[in-house]
């Protein structure tokens, strides 16, 4: 499997980092996990496009993780040469969110149907599957299992474990360490975790910003989860605050103090093979 960090940013706007999104290539099967800001631009940078996706997995319905799901849906629609379904998996209420996106696209869709009646006569076909912890299903060549995470008060939130040809990858989404996260990570070849720097966030004397500390894993906590679960490779993303040029090794050292395996972090489009 190949893992490409499409967007390593967070809700905080950053000219160089897209919002949370990760592309997983499992053989010929391409799976997008979350669809944050600039996801379609970064998909293009990774040599992919929405029409090449076998499925989209959403970890939770915070806006930073799906703000450009609209672009994935629209670009998939306008580039499909035949009526092609787009499969989206996410926690309960994902259907409600997709319905809202499609409602916002109603004028656009009507213009396209009027303009290309001989080549585009279908509405976007979005097949939503709402998932709950414990569910397993298949996307193309990959086996997916759904785990429970703790990102309270955001509920429900889920993690995904993707298995392909004997390798396993966990995408933990947002949240703090918990037993169910340990369980789904157990023995995984790689684990992607969204992280914050508690030491840096604490310096900002803004109550709403400080509130994020209680529902995200710190760099150290992500490393501790990886160690407890016996994970081989730790992949960090969703950096709050953004990693500044030259700071990568400082972030890596914080994780390395709690985890002896390989640690991957970097700019958008950082890729690693499992
Ligand atoms: Zn987030
Ligand atoms: Zn979140």
Query: Residue 171 maps to which CATH number?
Result: 3.60.15.10
pLDDT tens readout for residues 30-89: 999 999 999 999 999 999 999 999 999 999 999 999 999 999 999 999 999 999 999 999
Domain count, the chain: 1
Looking at the CA of 151, which ligand is closest?
A: 2
CA of 148 to the centre of ligand 1 (A): 16
Q: Which of 15, 50, 55 is nearest to 33 (CA)?
A: 55
CA of 65 to the centre of ligand 1 (A): 6
pLDDT tens readout for residues 192-201: 999 999 999 8
How many other C-beta atoms are found inside a 10 Å radius of the C-beta of residue 49? 15
Q: Over 90: is that where the pLDDT of 210 sits? A: no
Q: Over pLDDT 70: what percentage of the chain? A: 100
CA of 5 to the centre of ligand 2 (A): 17
Q: Over 90: is that where the pLDDT of 142 sits? A: yes
Q: Which pLDDT value is given to residue 159?
A: 98
Domain that holds residue 101: 2-273
- Which residues touch 257 (CB under 8 Å, ≥6 apart)? 220, 223
CA of 175 to the centre of ligand 1 (A): 9
Q: Which of 128, 156, 154, 132 is nearest to 145 (CA)?
A: 132
Q: Which pLDDT value is given to residue 34?
A: 98
Tokens encoding 82: 């035949």
Measured distance CA(250)–CA(111) in Å, rounded:
51
Tokens encoding 161: 């474990």
Give catalytic residue positions: 64
Q: Which pLDDT value is given to residue 117?
A: 92
Q: Over 90: is that where the pLDDT of 268 sits? A: yes
Give mean pLDDT, residues 15-27: 97
pLDDT tens readout for residues 145-197: 999 999 999 999 999 999 999 999 999 999 999 999 999 999 999 999 999 99
Looking at the CA of 62, which ligand is closest?
A: 2
Residue 22: C-alpha distances to residues 30, 46, 186, 243 (Å)? 10, 10, 21, 18
pLDDT mean across residues, the chain: 96
Measured distance CA(100)–CA(176) in Å, rounded:
29
């Amino acid at each position: 499997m190949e893992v490409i960090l499409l967007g390593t940013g967070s809700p905080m706007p950053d000219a160089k980092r897209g919002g949370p999104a990760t592309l997983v290539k499992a053989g010929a099967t391409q799976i997008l996990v979350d669809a944050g800001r600039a996801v379609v631009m970064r998909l293009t940078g990774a040599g992919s496009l929405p029409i090449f996706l076998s499925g989209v997995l959403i970890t939770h319905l915070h806006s930073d993780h799906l703000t450009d799901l609209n672009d994935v849906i629209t670009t998939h629609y306008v580039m499909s040469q035949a009526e092609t379904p787009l499969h989206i998996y996410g926690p309960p209420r994902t259907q409600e969110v997709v319905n809202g996106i499609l409602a916002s696209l109603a004028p656009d869709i009507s213009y396209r149907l009027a303009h290309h009646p001989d080549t585009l006569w279908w509405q976007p076909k979005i097949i939503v599957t709402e998932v709950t912890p414990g569910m397993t299903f298949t996307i193309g060549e990959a086996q997916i299992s759904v785990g429970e995470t703790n990102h309270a008060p955001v509920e429900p939130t889920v993690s995904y474990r993707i298995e392909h040809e004997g390798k396993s990858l966990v995408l933990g989404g947002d949240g703090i360490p918990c037993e169910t996260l340990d369980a789904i990570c157990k023995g995984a070849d790689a684990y992607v975790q969204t992280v914050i720097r508690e030491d840096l966030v604490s310096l900002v004397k803004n109550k709403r910003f400080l509130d994020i500390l209680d529902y995200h894993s710190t760099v150290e906590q992500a490393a501790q989860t990886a160690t407890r679960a016996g994970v081989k490779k730790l992949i960090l993303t969703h950096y709050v605050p953004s990693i500044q040029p030259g700071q990568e090794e400082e972030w890596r050292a914080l994780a390395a103090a709690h985890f002896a395996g390989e640690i991957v972090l970097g700019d958008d489009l950082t890729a690693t093979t499992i």
